[in-house]
Amino acid sequence: MADFRSIAAVGKSIEQLLNAAFDDADPPVTEKTTTAALVTSDKFAKGAGGGFGSGTGLSIFLYHIAANASMRAAWAAVGHVDGRSRLPVDLHYLLTAWADNAEWEHAILGKAMQCLEDTPILGGPLFGPDAGTAPVEAVQVTLDDVGPDTLLRIFDSIEGEFRLSVPYLARVVVIDGAAAWPVPSERLVEISEAARGPGLDWAEASC
């Protein structure tokens, strides 16, 4: 079961996975330590450096959350059965490299793409202990089909300077309802009908 923390848990899991890849025996930049970090839009402002200062890094920016239309009806049916709402969503990220030169930026993005291609499914131990997910839950992380014009509009909307970025999609992230609503049993309905007595219709009983 994944509650409202599931969106944050997916982002944190991607961050931890990429940091593990950057820290292995073959880092993208041998001269410096490269760090992956979740960021907000202000880190794209001029002079912000992605929040990495003079270091090298990869920012993970969640710029859009959308309902997954193909799974919404199916999860609504599940909620109808067990009495708990479900909202399946897709998370759209931008992975952006930050470094002193183009070669390092390309290496950072290449390493990140290699990592996510090797491990495209997040689940089980890849989710943190606070994720609240069941062992069978999993999220697919894949390259998103976003063209250059859309990328430019994203940077325009956040008033940031354009940086070399790769779009990624995490799907399907399911947000469970806070609590299940009570589902009356057949016996409870029988007792309710008996309690109304003769001559009292359902409309009157519900007033």
Q: Could you report the per-residue pLDDT of 94-127, keeping only the tens digit for each? A: 999 999 999 999 999 999 999 999 999 998 888 7
Instruction: Read off the tokens for 141.
Output: 């992380």
Grade residue 207 by pLDDT with cuts at 50, 70 and 90: very low
Let me know if residue 71 belongs to a domain.
yes
Grade residue 77 by pLDDT with cuts at 50, 70 and 90: low
Instruction: Read off the tokens for 134.
Output: 């069941």
**Residue 76, C-beta contacts closer than 8 angstroms, at least 6 positions apart:** 86
Let me know if residue 36 belongs to a domain.
yes
Provide the 3-class DSSP secondary structure of residue 94.
Answer: strand
- pLDDT digits 0-9 by tens, 163-200: 999 999 999 988 887 766 565 555 545 545 555 555 44
Provide the 3-class DSSP secondary structure of residue 18.
Answer: helix
Whose CA is closest to 34, among 131, 139, 117, 105?
105
Residue 15 has pLDDT above 80, yes or no: yes
pLDDT of residue 111: 98
Question: Average pLDDT over the chain, rounded to whole?
Answer: 83
Cβ count within 10 A of residue 161 = 11
pLDDT of residue 161: 86
pLDDT of residue 135: 64
Report the percent of the chain where pLDDT is more than 90: 57
Is residue 119 packed enough to be buried (19+ CB in 10 Å), middle (13-18) or exposed (0-12)? middle
What are the backbone angles phi and psi of residue 161, rounded to the nearest 5°? -80, 135
Task: Tell which wins on pLDDT, 45 or 3.
Answer: 45
- pLDDT digits 0-9 by tens, 21-37: 999 999 999 999 999 99
Let me know if residue 175 belongs to a domain.
yes
Let me know if residue 206 belongs to a domain.
no
Q: Taking the model in full, what pTM does it have?
A: 0.80
Q: How far apart are CA 1 and CA 28, in angstroms?
A: 36
Let me know if residue 197 belongs to a domain.
no
Let me know if residue 158 belongs to a domain.
yes
32 strand-pairing partners = none
Provide the phi-psi class of 124: left if phi over 0, else alpha when psi is between -120 and 50, else beta. Answer: left
Grade residue 54 by pLDDT with cuts at 50, 70 and 90: confident
Let me know if residue 200 belongs to a domain.
no
Domain around 65: 6-182
CA angle 173/6/97 to nearest 5° reads: 80
Instruction: Read off the tokens for 142.
Output: 């894949």
Let me know if residue 113 belongs to a domain.
yes
Q: How many domains does the chain have?
A: 1
